[in-house]
Amino acid sequence: MCLVKVLGVGSPHGADQLAWKVVEQLRQQTTLRPYLGNVLDCVILNRPGPSLIDYLQSAPTVVIIDAALDGGPTGRVRQYSATELLESQIQFSSHQFGVQQSLALAQALSDLPEGLRVIAISVSDEDQAMTEPDCEQWAVRLAPLIAARLDSIVSAVS
């Protein structure tokens, strides 16, 4: 079992691909290569909905990467704890059961891992429909930054 699991959450549409593309780039980062396959595992998830809870159990430390409409400029990277995310106002819908909602449900079920971190990549309103090549370009730019964060996380737990 790996110690750190990275979950790239998204879909094949517009800027929602960002986390997938970032995960693809993370796998190519030289700083992370020594860890991949043993300490560190990176997967992509296609709109997992509440199934995300299962993946939260897959490692002692879980890092979720997701594109976020949080008012920030496209490409801004912020890291949140589960507590910070859960303190925000949450609305539920079976058709819009996203990361926040899944984490809230996981917390209610006492299934929230202590080492959970969420890395949010901001997408501005006007960039929501960005193309796949644009997503790939952003991923190339952002991957080293996110890899550095992961490097420190992996170093701390391994």
Q: Which residue has the tokens 């094949």?
A: 12
Number of residues that bind other proteins (CB under 8 A): 23
95 in contact with other proteins (CB under 8 A): yes
Handedness of CA 121, 98, 117, 52 (dihedral sign): negative
Taking a C-beta distance cutoff of 8 angstroms, is the pair 7, 52 a contact? yes
Binding other proteins (rule: CB under 8 A), the pick from 71, 73, 110, 126 is 110
Give 156's strand partners: none
The reply to whether 44 sits near other proteins by the rule CB under 8 A is no
Beta strands in 4-148 (DSSP E): 4-10, 40-46, 61-68, 77-81, 117-122
28, 51, 83, 155: which one binds other proteins (CB under 8 A):
51
* 47 vs 149, beta carbon nearer other proteins: 47
Interface residue list for other proteins (CB under 8 A): 11, 46-47, 49-51, 53-54, 90-97, 101, 104-105, 107-110
